[in-house]
Structure 1
């Protein structure tokens, strides 16, 4: 019974990790886009 419990717990942790990584990737893409736009605006101001 213990082995089954450990396997289930491992699978649940593994799924949660994948879920967190996916959310982090989506957030990173959104934040990355915002940062790129911000830097483009700053560079345009510096050039002017």
Structure 2
């Protein structure tokens, strides 16, 4: 029984780690897109 509980805990920790990794990846992608968009806007203002 304790082996079963241990397996569940390990699986939950793995899922949690994957979720945190995915969240960091999404935040990094959004930040990269936002900074790229800002640089494009700055170029547009300089052209005008």
**TM-score of the superposition, structure 2-length normalised?**
0.70
Q: In the alignment, what sits opposite 2:6?
A: 4
**TM-score of the superposition, structure 1-length normalised?**
0.70
Query: What number of residue pairs does the alignment pair up?
Result: 45
- Provide the rounded CA distance (Å) in 1 between the counterparts of 2:14 and 2:7: 11
Unaligned runs of at least 5 residues, structure 2: none
Extract structure 1 runs of 4+ deviating beyond 2 A. 35-42
Unaligned runs of at least 5 residues, structure 1: none
- Provide the rounded CA distance (Å) in 2 between the counterparts of 1:4 and 1:33: 43
